[in-house]
Amino acid sequence: MTYVTLAVLDDLDALTAKGTGILAGTVMGFLCVLAVVRTWSKTNSVIAAGMAFIGAVALWFAVMNAPVFRDSIGVDIAPTGAAKSAGADRVVVQVVDPAPGDLR
């Protein structure tokens, strides 16, 4: 019984991954084409349409490679040593009342 449940979960996971990939590729492709066509129809400029194409491709690249960016940022931010950071443990904040008649 357990093996059947695990097999079903693996199949669902694989199906979801394929569906997500197809959906992301299709939707992103459609939105990229839509951005270029809409820019061209509004401006009738090859330069503006080209810039819309470059922006769309850059956005598509960022969306498709989001896990890579997430992982690289996580590695850069994660502390490398067990030593405590040099920052203060506590911060003292003093609230000063404004001068009488000050409407800031």
How confident is the model at residue 44, as a pLDDT?
A: 93
- Any idea what the Cα angle at residue 25 is, between residues 21 and 26, rounded to 5°? 115
DSSP secondary structure code for residue 65 in this structure = T
What pLDDT tens digit does each residue of the chain (104 aa) get? 677 787 888 888 888 888 877 877 888 889 889 999 999 999 999 999 999 999 999 988 888 887 777 776 655 555 555 455 555 566 667 777 777 776 66
Nearest residue to 51 via CA among 36, 31, 33:
36
